[in-house]
Amino acid sequence: MIYYTYIYIYVCITLIELNFILVQELVEFMSKIRGNKVKFDANKLVLTAGSTSANETLMFCLADPGDAFLLPVPYYPGFDRDLKWRTGVEIVPIQCRSSNGFRITSSALEEAYLQAQDKGLKVKGVLVTNPSNPLGTTLTRDELDLLIDFAIDKEAHIVSDEIFSGTVFDSQSFVSIAEVLNDRNLEGSEVFDRVHIVYSLSKDLGVPGFRIGMVYSNDEQVVSAATKMSSFGLVSSQTQYTFSRMLSDKKFTAKYLKENRKRLKRRKEILVSGLKSAGIKCLKSNACLFAWVDMRSLLSSDTFEAEKELWKRIVYEVGLNVSPGSSCHCTEPGWFRMCFANMSEETLGVALQRFKAFAETLIRSKQQQQQSAGKCYSRTRSLTRWVFQLASDDRETDR
């Protein structure tokens, strides 16, 4: 009996040490992705089984059933499940539009806040993805400042899901909300404790099946509660060991991130160029594994019913599975999320050839319909003038 007790104690100590090593490696890795402009404290990080578990854990920690979080639209469809199903938290959309590249504005934030109040919902915070899923864009410093000012004014929390932070491959570099807090000297302030970061290795290292996520918070109570809740979604000891060894190889991770960004940029350029040749534009983006594609010109009408019909045709006739904007709660019909990182360049080329042929056929068909409608309209207009002239002549005669 004593022998088994010693074994149990040894295993527990080993697991604690293993967890400590992995957490230390993770905070160093997170700092590295952010250009070492911000340092993270290992004592404020809680391991979870993926970012799905991390986001749900934060909802349990920060809100009660019936409370609300504001999310800019379009947003990742899985949030309807992750944030709401078991927690009872409500999502209120921050309406972002294509006219300004779907950027967050102060008026949109205030409008969402008032909408929640009108529904009798208590707003506990704002959740954003940075870089954005599904837009593939990074939040600007102005947007991050806006969110922090909002959190200060409303005494609200901010959850920044930064799962794609290591995929930024073009234009401006990634700016974490932690960096902005530091730049504004807000460490130790009340709002500092109300900012929480979600991260995972799934996207940056391409290992979604291993389920390595984390909650990072400056609030000791949140860290304590999240640590207790993590017992229901642990990262296996084998996984912890594997990735503590992987992350300790700094040369490998640096080379991997650099090569990954290079390949993502090339794939995105291939996609954008191929779609452009088919007359389709994309939102300008600089991160993630997908593009936000503007297919409004292919719609039969400016409705979500037409968007759904177009989506079905792309799936069944072209053989491509893209995500319609309505699934991401986009308020403008005709936008689609198209992934480019889950296939070889050769396969991507085939996909683009198929889509180009489909788009060109659809555009020609629409043009022919418009020309036909124009001729009908011209004939109808001529007939109307003729009838009107006769009617006028008749009235003149009667007079």
- Bridge partners of 48, per DSSP, are 213
* Nearest one of 26, 29, 55, 36 to 178, comparing CA atoms: 36
Q: Is the peptide bond before 72 cis (omega within 30 degrees of 0)?
A: no
Q: Are 206 and 260 in contact (CB under 8 A)?
A: yes
Q: Are 330 and 74 in contact (CB under 8 A)?
A: yes
Q: Are 112 and 95 in contact (CB under 8 A)?
A: yes
Active-site position among 67, 161, 204, 294 = 161
The Cα–Cα gap between 70 and 93 comes to: 6
Told to judge if 76 belongs to the known catalytic residues of this protein, a careful annotator would answer: yes
* Nearest one of 251, 287, 250 to 268, comparing CA atoms: 287
Angstrom distances, CA of residue 126 to CA of 121, 148, 278, 377: 14, 10, 38, 50
Active-site position among 94, 163, 280, 314 = 163
Active-site position among 21, 33, 67, 76 = 76
* Nearest one of 168, 172, 131 to 258, comparing CA atoms: 168
Told to judge if 161 belongs to the known catalytic residues of this protein, a careful annotator would answer: yes
Q: Are 120 and 114 in contact (CB under 8 A)?
A: no
Q: Are 333 and 296 in contact (CB under 8 A)?
A: yes
Q: Are 220 and 46 in contact (CB under 8 A)?
A: no
Local structure of residue 200 (DSSP, 8 states): E
Told to judge if 258 belongs to the known catalytic residues of this protein, a careful annotator would answer: no
Active-site position among 82, 94, 197, 203 = 203
Q: At which residue do the structure tokens 């940056």 appear?
A: 204
Backbone angles phi, psi at 129, to 5 degrees: -105, 130
Q: Two tokens at 69?
A: 């979080």
The Cα–Cα gap between 65 and 73 comes to: 22
* Nearest one of 229, 241, 236 to 210, comparing CA atoms: 236
Catalytic site residues?
76, 161, 163, 203
